[in-house]
Structure 1
């Protein structure tokens, strides 16, 4: 498995909650930071306040091997109640030339919801590349270990995805107190 192939990982979970409730949680761009081992915080940019195609937000991240960094993500697909996808980009040029082009994103992330009997099937996926990232720096340093580097990163992403999905399910399934 090579970086240039755009490898990815996905996990899904069944949530005993209405899709509208699950969507309410998924559409909160800050929510994954509550559960992710890497994403620390998120804020909207350019006056945006809700998901829309083209809306941008900053993500602040930390990894034990790379330290802390910021990405700027752009929502590239949105079907309210069903799909939200975004691409984090290296707008600050930490890993090479600065980029604000989703076609050169460091990754593509995607939530997908599907109604199922008794609730919602929620999938979260990530595809790495094609743009430069901390992963490309490691591969350039140890090109003979590219497959192991990519496999390790995909395992990290899968663990973070599963933790995030479990957290969303727990919140969605909590009894809601009427206001």
Structure 2
């Protein structure tokens, strides 16, 4: 079931300011509201807000198989412009996730992206396919980014 994951991105226009959108995305404790694969997120090591080097613990759930955990580190926290973090797992390689916020005439174009900097190893692919039943991870990740941006647009239209 091995796939050649390298990078991908999805963009969407949202009628909100870059700062408003950044504030939602960079509050990693709200990630479960945005992503169907993230079940829980907590700051680590005394961090309480986004800053370069801050770490958080994420509990992922694919709907089948056991949940898994990872501890990303924030690599860029530039309010209203860029929010990015790197996720590493011993069998899962290294992925850089990021959000860019580009203001335009009526709001902001938000781009969510990922880049694989160290590929998943063979055992990781085995687990993804057999334990979790995920057969097309590239499509799953793209669909997840699309859903995240849709949920973000709904959140700013109907704030908590």
Q: Shorter chain as normaliser: what TM range?
A: 0.7 to 0.9
Change (3 A) 1:135 1:156: farther
TM-score of the superposition, structure 2-length normalised?
0.83
Match of 1:118 among 103, 106, 111: 106
Give the gaps of 5 or more residues in structure 2: none
Shift of 1:154: 1.2
Q: Runs of 5+ in structure 1 lacking a partner?
A: 97-103, 143-148
Which stretches of structure 1, 4 residues or longer, exceed 6 Å deviation after superposition? none
Q: State the TM-score, normalized to the length of structure 1.
A: 0.75
* C-alpha spacing 1:155/1:134, structure 2 compared with 1 (3 Å): farther
| Gap change, CA 1:130 and 1:21, over 3 Å in 2 | same
* Residues 56 and 121 of structure 1, relative CA distance in 2, 3 Å threshold: same
Question: 1:67 corresponds to which residue?
Answer: 66
- Classify the secondary structure of the residue corresponding to 1:84: strand
Q: Which structure: larger Rg?
A: 1
- Cα RMSD (Å) of the superposition? 2.8
CA distance in 2, matches of 1:173, 1:129: 35
Decide which moves more: 30-39 or 115-124.
30-39
**Size of the alignment, in residue pairs?**
155
